[in-house]
């Protein structure tokens, strides 16, 4: 995890230097969400690139291992329930990994393939060799007599990060507390809490090594919001530097 408050304070310090402009918590939260998703989406392009190229491998500098650590932050494992013949994916589903039926790994079949597989008793799937097809945001498992014991390993979508705050009370302001948002470290629960409420915070769901990357990713976006090209320039230059070291 990357601490949301640490990133916000760094972004404010750089962006507000020489009074360039102030980034509100709401603006920051929107930029943080975009930045986190951009970093997350880039993992899969990098993975494909690494698989195509030979890389020097060592215990701590193997790019494949480093990338796997970052991706596995989003690993999920869920038991699925049957409804109307289908097993729906979890609400935070992003990318499918492995489907298991009673602890046996099921084989994937396309809709075209399943027509041929189920056309004959000789090839029809059995409980010891289950098969599944993907139907939108759900799967169908064969043999259709299976009605439980289905689970999946998958990658979860990142939750939207949130820098939550409370405004100081009148008595606090009277005592000298600045009249500006005060960070609220109370943990935000995406399942039950409302993003429109200002209170409570949720850290980035990125690997700790991505802290610098997310800072400069947000700065690149923030420069557009506060109309300061030099802020975007700082972020872009640092992003490119980070990307170059990851090749």
List, for residues 55-98, the tens digit of each pLDDT value.
555 565 677 788 889 999 999 999 999 999 999 999 999 999 99
Instruction: Give the C-alpha separation, 220 to 214, whole Å.
Output: 10
Instruction: Give the C-alpha separation, 93 to 96, whole Å.
Output: 8
Are 165 and 187 in a shared domain?
yes
CA torsion, points 176, 180, 186, 188, in degrees to nearest 10?
A: 170
Tens-digit pLDDT profile for residues 150-190:
999 999 999 999 999 999 999 999 999 999 999 999 999 99
Mean pLDDT, all residues of the chain: 87
Q: Which two tokens stand for residue 240?
A: 């490119």
Q: Residue 55: what pLDDT?
A: 55
Are 109 and 140 in a shared domain?
yes
With 0.75 as the threshold, say if the pTM is over it: yes
Instruction: Give the C-alpha separation, 191 to 184, whole Å.
Output: 18
Instruction: Give the C-alpha separation, 52 to 132, whole Å.
Output: 29
Tens-digit pLDDT profile for residues 20-35:
557 899 999 999 999 9
67 is a domain residue? no
**Which range (7-11, 17-21, 219-223) has the least confidence?**
17-21
Distances in whole angstroms, Cα of residue 33 to Cα of each of 38, 60, 162, 246: 9, 29, 8, 22
Picking from 138, 156, 174, the residue at the C-terminal end of a domain is 156
Query: Residue written as tokens 């075209």?
Result: 112
Query: Residue written as tokens 């289905």?
Result: 150
Share of the chain above pLDDT 70, in %: 82
Are 121 and 83 in a shared domain?
yes
Rg of the chain in Å (alpha carbons): 23
Q: What's the average model confidence in pLDDT over 194-207?
A: 97
Tally of domains within the chain = 2
CA torsion, points 20, 23, 27, 31, in degrees to nearest 10?
A: 70
Residue 230 has pLDDT above 80, yes or no: no
Q: Residue 45: what pLDDT?
A: 82
- Domain containing 197 equals 4-40+159-246
């Amino acid at each position: 995890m990357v601490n949301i408050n640490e990133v916000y304070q760094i972004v404010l310090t750089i962006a507000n230097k020489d009074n360039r402009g102030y980034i509100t918590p709401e603006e920051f939260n929107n930029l943080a969400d975009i930045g986190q998703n951009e970093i997350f989406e880039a993992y899969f392009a990098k993975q494909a690139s690494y698989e195509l190229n030979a890389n020097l491998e060592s215990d701590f500098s193997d790019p494949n291992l480093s990338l796997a650590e970052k991706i596995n932050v989003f690993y999920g494992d869920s038991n699925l329930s049957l409804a109307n013949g289908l097993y729906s994916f979890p609400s935070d589903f992003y990318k499918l990994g492995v489907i298991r039926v009673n602890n046996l790994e099921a084989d994937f079949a396309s809709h075209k393939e399943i027509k041929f597989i189920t056309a004959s008793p000789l090839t029809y799937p059995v409980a010891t060799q289950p098969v599944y097809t993907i139907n939108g945001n759900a799967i169908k498992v064969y043999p259709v007599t299976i009605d439980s014991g289905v689970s999946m390993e998958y990658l979860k979508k990142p939750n939207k990060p949130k820098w939550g705050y409370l405004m100081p009370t009148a008595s606090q302001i009277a005592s000298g507390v600045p009249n500006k948002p005060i960070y609220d470290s109370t943990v935000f629960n995406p399942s039950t809490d409302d993003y429109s409420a200002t209170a409570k915070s949720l850290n980035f769901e990125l690997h700790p090594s991505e802290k610098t990357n997310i800072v400069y990713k947000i700065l690149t976006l923030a420069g557009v919001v506060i109309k300061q090209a030099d802020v975007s320039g700082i972020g872009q230059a640092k992003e490119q530097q980070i990307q170059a070291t990851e090749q």
